[in-house]
A and B are shown apart, each in its own frame.
Chain A
Amino acid sequence: MLNRRKFVGSVGAGVLLAPFISLLNGDKPARAAGKKAKRLLLFCSMGTNPVLWSPTAVTAENSFTFSPMTQPLSAIKANTILIEGCPSMNTGDGHGAPDGLTGLGYGQVGQVPVISVDQFIATGLTASGINVPIPSLLLGADTTALGGKNMFYNGKNGGNCMSTIGSPMSAFTTAFGGALPSGMTMDVVMKRRKSILDLVTTEITGLQSTLGSVEKAKLDLHLASIRQLENKLTQMSSAGAGACSKPGMPPADSMFTPAETQTIAANVALQNIILAAFACDITRVAAIHYGSDQKLQVNLPAQSLNDDQHGGFIHSGAASNYKNLVTFEQYLAQQFASLVTTLGTMPEADGSGMLLDNTIVAWCRDMGDSVAHNQQSMRFVLASGTNGYLKTDPNGRYLDMRKMTAPASRHERVLLSLCDAMGLTSFKGFGDASLGVNKTPLPGIAS
């Protein structure tokens, strides 16, 4: 255990614990009662080939056989729920990056503010008084590959998706801070940073006064980014003498170049940073995003994979490519299972069990059937501790929502379940405003 204030210049456990202790006590009016999660981890990837994903030999929701593609999830079946058959609002959309986490889709981008569930939750947590250094830590290498998009939207940047951090070193520095300059104390550094950010903010606001609305809006995003940084620095400077396990520094960026062929390796390193950030309560909402909705360069020599997931595995069509898709999806499932397993071994700083007990993990996809390019059946894998938010079963659970009809089976309801898991009680401003009585979490998810 290292003193993080000294080594990584971040908040101490005393401050870290305060927000979620109050959360556990349920004293925040905006948060729902019941077993809730403290943190959300989104694991994001492209759509897949449905017939290769779906469980087989299904006789009951807790009696089924994992498909070869999802077989690695069997290792964590006691923690998971597999869900499929949920149509999006836009089942006929082509590439579906905006669909995956917003409940809306391409047709709505630019028409209404499109907000992904991670941002809706992060904003909701902040509004309910949970103030962590980084409201949402969105990581993923090459998430705009081939002109594509990722799944994260904050409704503020004109239909552009948000930016993810793709460099493990940059993500590490952002989450845990860089080394202090020799001979300088943290107080001196903080004072200088505040002066600099004040100066930069003054420059930006001065520049804004000379701009029209379009350009001014760009700088509004810049100012918001600075305010987020200032909030983090404020917490750092007011932190107590807490302790936190600091992760090892990731390899240098040069180890992940060229970026196009090192995407997977970078993401694995980024996942470790998320786990450490959770342990240190630097963020409550984090995501790892595999590629864009147009491309993910897969370079996995051990699996004999070297191809683009989208153009190669999914759309090249030959049986050998679907075989490769299965192999790669198995790899992703292993990564997902590894994250869940590791969270289950990391103790909460306050001794309240393991991180997994208080975390909801969701594997989300931008598209339902990526071979056919539609969103008629979106798929999720949810995971939590067996005494956490989810209703789990020792044999695992599989919910085939095709037994229901839309809009009752809409995939937005799974996203609302994530909101519910994180304690949000109002879903106003998220997703489809016309969902009516179905604007509620999907039944059967929560314990």
Chain B
Amino acid sequence: MLRRLSATELAATLPDLFGDPTVSVAAVFQDPSVLGFHVDANSLLVQDLNADQLMSNAEAIAQWAVTTPSVLSRIAPCTTTDDACQTKFITTFGKRAFRAPVSADRLAAYKQLFAAEASFSAGAQAVIAAMLQSPYFLYKTELGTASSGTFPLTPYEVATSLSYLLTGSMPDATLIAAADTWSTPPTQAQVDVQLNRLIGGNSVQTALMNFMTGWLGLDRLYSNAKDNTVYTLTDGQRSDMMGETTNLVVDTFNSNGTVGDLLNADHSFLNQSLAQFYGISSAGLGATSFTKVPYPLGGPRDRGILAHASVLNGYSRPDISSPTQRGHLVRSRLLCQNVSPPPPNLDTKLQDPTANTPTTRALYEQHVHPTDPNSPCPACHTLMDPIGFGFESYDGFGRHRSSENGSPIDPSATIVQAGTSGMAIQTADLTALGNYLAGSDDVKTCNARYWAYFAYGSVSWDQDGCTYDSIRQSATAGAYSLKSVLTAIVHAPHFTTRVQDQ
């Protein structure tokens, strides 16, 4: 399989490749979103005017690299035009760009390109520009070598997959050096040394949040429109809200916590302004830094990540909350159950609030219990809105409320067809909803399925049962901690071996 670097991966790779965060990365790709992620191997293509854009970007970067002394000294071990220096530059920079050693035939091709230029600077510029347009840079290859009917992946292919999964960027020098010594395919013990190193490093936070952002749609915090006439949500508040969620996720991960620990966390991470927004005492909190704050039962906020303003803002209408969106989040992203889109020819508008429907919950009850007995709405909305009612203690901006338009809030929720038993689950409030989900096996396996898709870039939930069985078994042994899920994905045979169409 070939997997083109996503726009996010390309933007992370170039600064690492040149060791300089100021490298200019043009907006070449608008990656389609599949299942909330931008990683789908069949959708990430180089097509249409992309080659044109890639050429322009590569030329600009190459010129910048050879004219910026600090960069050139970092990527070029020598700066002469003799054969030895050409070879050294191409093999050194090429190994980093291609994430694998430069083969003899490719070395010859790039030397020919270099030799056509009049100076080291011009030669290096041509080589860099070419490498940044090369398929060996743009695509992560997972081809392997044929062996008794299977295709074990090469050490460098495994190292590349491992690096992008755990850091979101290209392999670092330590990982490439390790791959130099690995067998084909590398053994689990060999991989585990690097897996454990990277999983304990700082870069894993980026990759971890890349996954969590896609899984929970956290980027909706920024993309979801908000009605400023109701409340003005500032950029700073959005940043604080994402900071809270990031801190909880990273802390849970580092402390070997589970997805359940995210959903029923008895604490959160606040700074002064977010605490004030939440109506919680900000005494002792930093102005910008986040401090772990306990959330006692019956406190001013419900427990767990679902009560984070980052989530609540992302799943709301511009002016009010949205039980449909919030219920859909739980149904599709936490329980892995599909909900069909609205059928054609359906009038989707709700009646405006009236004296009889002063609350958002009452408004959305029209979906679930419509006055028209022939309404098609309940067929799908029963799967969503009654779950979303459990979030109703929070308005469209994530502010806690006990009443709305003078009527008390009812945050009780119902999850129909909650699991394999098909039983309906009743919960009293968002904390209770989080508690139920935290203990659900469906949520654990659903999380693993999305993470595996994020890692592998292909949807094979139905077809690739063996891979998911392997992940489930391995993650179960690790009590489904976030680290154990990630480790299970790496330990699955699919990570190091291919069996079919290459």
Confirm or deny: A108 has a beta carbon within 8 angstroms of a beta carbon on chain B: no
CB under 8 Å from chain B, chain A span 165-182 = 165-167, 169-170, 173-174, 177-178, 181
A222→B135 contact, CB < 8 A: yes
Residue B33, interface by CB 8 Å: yes
CB distance from B305 to the nearest CB of A (A): 22
Chain A residue with minimal CB distance to B118? A188
Decide: A215 and B2 in contact? CB cutoff 8 A. yes
- Asked if A374 and B52 sit within 8 Å, CB to CB, the answer is no
Q: Which of B254-262, B340-348, B374-382 contacts A (4 or more CB under 8 A)?
A: B340-348
Q: Point out the residues of chain B lying under 8 angstroms from A374, CB to CB.
A: 344-345
A202→B135 CA distance, assembly (Å): 10
B259 to chain A, nearest CB (A): 23
* Chain A residues closer than 8 Å to B4, beta-carbon distance: 218
Name the B residues within 8 Å of A56 (CB-CB).
none
B106 interfacial by beta-carbon distance below 8 Å: yes
- Please count how many residues in chain A sit with their CB below 8 Å of the partner chain's CB atoms: 83
Inside 8 A of A226's CB, which chain B residues have their CB? 51
Nearest Cβ in chain B — how far from A442, in angstroms?
24
Segment among A26-34, A242-250, A315-323 that sits at the interface with chain B: A315-323
In the bound complex, residues from chain B placing their C-beta under 8 Å from that of A162 are: 47-48
- A283 CB to nearest chain B CB (Å): 10
Chain A, Cβ-Cβ closest to B340: A94
* B113 interface contact, C-beta 8 A: yes
Judge if B27 is at the interface, Cβ distance under 8 Å. yes
| B502 interface contact, C-beta 8 A | yes
Complex interface bits, A131-169 against B, C-beta within 8 A gives 1, otherwise 0 = 000100110011111110100001001101111111101
- Does the CB pair A165–B49 fall under 8 Å? yes
Partner of A225, one of B27, B50, B501, B502: B50
Chain A: minimal CB distance from B336 (Å): 16
Partner of A214 from B47, B117, B134, B501 at Cβ < 8 Å: B501
Contact with A297, one of B32, B57, B109, B223 (Cβ below 8 angstroms): B223
Q: Which chain B residue lies CB-closest to A375?
A: B344
Whether A219 sits at the interface, judged by CB under 8 Å, is: yes
Instruction: Determine whether the beta carbon of B30 is less than 8 Å from that of A315.
Output: no
Contact (A160, B130) CB under 8 Å given A92-B344, A144-B30: no
Closest A residue to B29 by beta carbon equals A163
A interface footprint on B268-291 (CB within 8 Å = 1, 0 otherwise): 000000000000000000000000
Central interface residue in A170, A196, A225, by most chain B CB within 10 Å: A196
B60 at the interface (CB under 8 A from A): yes
Also in contact, A224 and B47, with CB within 8 A (given A147-B32, A174-B52, A207-B135): yes
Q: Are A160 and B32 in contact (CB under 8 A)?
A: yes
Q: Which residues of A are found within 8 Å of B47, using beta-carbon distances? A: 157, 162-163, 221-222, 224-225
CA distance A352 to B109 in the complex (A): 49
Contacts of A221 in B (CB 8 A): 45-47
Closest Cβ–Cβ distance, residue A207 to chain B (whole Å): 5
Contact between B33 and A146, CB atoms less than 8 A apart: yes
Pick the interface stretch among B75-83, B188-196, B224-232, B487-495: B224-232
On whether the beta carbons of B51 and A229 are closer than 8 Å, the reply is yes
Which of A64-72, A78-86, A306-314 forms part of the interface with chain B? A306-314
Q: In the assembled complex, how far is the CB of residue A205 from the closest CB belonging to chain B, in whole angstroms?
A: 10
B466 on the interface (CB 8 Å rule)? no
| A94 close to B341 (CB less than 8 A) | yes
Give the distance in Å from the alpha carbon of A219 to the alpha carbon of B117 in the complex.
Answer: 29
Chain A residues positioned under 8 Å from B35 (CB to CB): 147
B136 at the interface (CB under 8 A from A): yes
- B342 lies within 8 A of A307 (CB): no
- With contacts A215-B2, A372-B346 taken as known, whether A306 is within 8 angstroms of B56 at the C-beta atoms is no
The minimal Cβ–Cβ distance linking B233 to chain A, given in whole angstroms, is 11
Chain B residues within 8 Å of A197, by CB: 55, 133
Cα–Cα, bound, A207→B139 (Å) = 11
- CB-defined contacts of A178 to chain B, threshold 8 Å: 56, 59-60
What's the Cα separation between A218 and B43 when bound, in Å?
9
Closest to A160 in B: B43
With contact pairs A169-B26, A195-B126, A207-B135 given, residues A319 and B345 touching in the complex (Cβ less than 8 Å): no
Q: Let me know if B266 is at the binding interface, CB within 8 A.
A: no
Chain A residues with CB below 8 A from B129, complex form: 192, 196
Least Cβ–Cβ distance between B445 and chain A, in angstroms: 23
- Judge whether A212 is part of the interface by a CB distance below 8 angstroms: yes
Chain A residues within an 8 Å CB radius of B34: 147
B59: chain A residues within 8 A (beta carbon): 178, 181
Q: Could you tell me if A144 and B32 are in contact, using CB atoms closer than 8 angstroms? A: yes
B501 cross-chain contacts in A, Cβ below 8 A = 212-215
Evaluate contact between A174 and B502: CB separation under 8 angstroms: no
Contact across chains for A199 and B345 when beta carbons are under 8 A apart: no
| Cβ contact within 8 Å between A144 and B31 | yes
Chain A residues, Cβ within 8 Å of B342: 94, 373
Instruction: Assess A306 versus B45: contact at CB under 8 Å? Given A232-B52, A312-B225, A371-B347.
Output: no
- For the complex, is A187 an interface residue (Cβ under 8 Å from B)? no
Identity of the chain A residue whose Cβ is nearest the Cβ of B217 in the assembled complex: A146
Q: For A163, give its contact among B50, B63, B117, B226 (CB under 8 Å).
A: B50
Given contacts A312-B318, A318-B352, A373-B345, contact A195 B116 (CB under 8 A): yes
Q: B358 within 8 Å of A by Cβ?
A: no
Contact flag A202-B109 (CB < 8 Å), given A144-B33, A163-B50, A181-B63: yes
A253-261, A332-340, A396-404, A432-440: which lies at the interface: A253-261
Q: Assess whether B42 is interfacial by the CB under 8 Å rule.
A: yes
Q: Which residues of A contact B461 (CB under 8 A)?
A: none
Per-residue contact bits, chain A 85-100, to B (CB 8 Å; 1 contact, 0 not): 0000001111100000
Q: Does B73 contact A (CB under 8 A)?
A: no
Q: Which of A201-238 contact B (CB under 8 A)?
A: 202-204, 207, 210-215, 218-219, 221-222, 224-226, 228-229, 232
CA distance A142 to B34 in the complex (A): 14
Q: Which B425-480 residues have C-beta < 8 A from chain A?
A: none
Q: Is the CB of B45 within 8 A of A138?
A: no
Of all chain B residues, the one with the shortest Cβ separation from A370 is B348
Contact with A218, one of B45, B130, B133 (Cβ below 8 angstroms): B45
A200 contacts partner chain B, Cβ-Cβ < 8 Å: yes
Query: Which residues of chain B have C-beta atoms less than 8 A from A364's C-beta?
Result: none
Query: Chain A residues with Cβ under 8 A from B109's Cβ?
Result: 199, 202-203
In the bound assembly, the distance between CA atoms of A193 and B63 in angstroms comes to 14
A163 to B43, CA, bound (A): 10
A306 touches B226 (CB 8 A): yes
- Cα(A177)–Cα(B59), bound, Å: 11
**A219 to chain B: which residues have CB within 8 Å?**
2, 135
Distance (Å) between the CB of A38 and the closest chain B CB? Answer: 21
Give Cα A214 to B135, complex, Å.
16
Judge whether A298 is part of the interface by a CB distance below 8 angstroms: yes
Contact, CB under 8 Å: B345 / A211: no
What are the interface flags for A294-307 relative to B under an 8 Å C-beta threshold, 1 for contact and 0 otherwise? Answer: 00011100000011
| CB proximity of A58 to chain B, nearest CB, Å | 25
Name the distance in Å between A28's Cβ and chain B's nearest Cβ.
Answer: 25
Starting from the known contacts A229-B52, A307-B318, A372-B344, 17 additional A-B residue pairs (CB-CB under 8 Å) come to A95-B341, A134-B52, A141-B30, A144-B30, A144-B32, A145-B223, A147-B34, A162-B47, A166-B27, A178-B56, A212-B501, A219-B2, A219-B135, A226-B51, A229-B49, A373-B345, A374-B344
9 contacts between A and B (CB under 8 A): A166-B27, A193-B55, A195-B116, A207-B2, A207-B141, A228-B48, A306-B228, A317-B350, A372-B344
Spell out A's residues near B (CB within 8 Å): 91-95, 134, 137-138, 141-147, 149, 154, 157-158, 160-167, 169-170, 173-174, 177-178, 181, 191-193, 195-197, 199-200, 202-204, 207, 210-215, 218-219, 221-222, 224-226, 228-229, 232, 253, 258, 260-261, 297-299, 306-308, 311-312, 315-319, 371-374
Closest 9 CB pairs of A and B: A317-B349, A260-B223, A167-B27, A212-B501, A225-B51, A147-B33, A222-B46, A307-B225, A144-B32
> B-side interface residues toward A, CB under 8 Å?
1-2, 4, 26-36, 42-43, 45-53, 55-57, 59-60, 63, 106, 109-110, 113, 116-117, 125-126, 129-130, 133-136, 141, 143, 219, 222-228, 317-318, 341-352, 500-502
